[in-house]
Chains A and B, each alone.
Chain A
Amino acid sequence: DTEVTQTPKHLVMGMTNKKSLKCEQHMGHRAMYWYKQKAKKPPELMFVYSYEKLSINESVPSRFSPECPNSSLLNLHLHALQPEDSALYLCASSLPGQGPSGNTIYFGEGSWLTVV
């Protein structure tokens, strides 16, 4: 099973709403990622959790709040977003500690977020 599952696939939310994006993997991976992707642009790294601890936060605004309840789950809590936050949000996971051996990342299909 090489699958990363993201829900919901599509989300429309108002600027005052609170919503969450969810991500799940059962590959035993211990690193999980959130990327944001705008149209015709590459994925931009937002957060990385390694062994359920936040290891990278790319200076993401506090209206985005990640959570890693356990090694299989990753959430992204959304609050008071702006229309410019509309994008494809990609979750990914990988095995830990591969170092020079490489770190293949497995992506989910993404959650399309529209902020109105």
Chain B
Amino acid sequence: SQQGEEDPQALSIQEGENATMNCSYKTSINNLQWYRQNSGRGLVHLILIRSNEREKHSGRLRVTLDTSKKSSSLLITASRAADTASYFCATDASRLWDDMRFGAGTRLTVKP
């Protein structure tokens, strides 16, 4: 079963703009991760944020986590056409570190 829900389901922006995607989840977690998937390919890990962290940066990526609201956001700054992909959040059930479940995902299109 799914753990996280993401919105928006689809996002279309121009190159150079920022893209924000949100993820909500249902149960307690140890950490939350974001993954990227190009069409029909495997998923690539982007960033992990632990439950005791509130914000994390990696290059053009900024992730926030609000455990009180059970939500996270992924911000991609200065987007590029190559950022076009589906983005998924994934969470673990707090006692089962290997029980990784994915949210519905956001399909991002960056127009050149």
Which residues of A does B touch, CB under 8 Å? 4, 31, 33, 35, 40-45, 48, 50, 55-56, 58, 88, 90, 92, 94, 96-110, 112
Contact = CB atoms under 8 A, between A and B. Distances in A.
Interface of B: 1-2, 30-31, 33, 35, 40-45, 48, 50-52, 88, 90, 92, 96-105, 107
Given A41-B104, A105-B100, 10 more contacts: A40-B107, A42-B103, A56-B99, A58-B1, A98-B97, A102-B33, A105-B90, A107-B35, A107-B42, A108-B42
B33 A109 contact: no
A103 B100 CA distance: 9
13 contacts: A33-B98, A42-B105, A44-B102, A56-B98, A90-B42, A92-B43, A98-B97, A100-B30, A102-B31, A102-B48, A107-B44, A110-B40, A110-B42
Given A45-B100, A48-B99, A104 B48 contact: yes
A71 to B, nearest CB: 14
A108 B45 CA distance: 12
A43 B102 contact: yes
A108 B41 CA distance: 8
Nearest to A39: B40
Contacts of B52: 100
A58 B35 CA distance: 22
A107 B40 CA distance: 13
B6 to A, nearest CB: 9
Given A45-B101, A56-B99, A103 B44 contact: no
A90 B107 CA distance: 19
Nearest to B96: A56
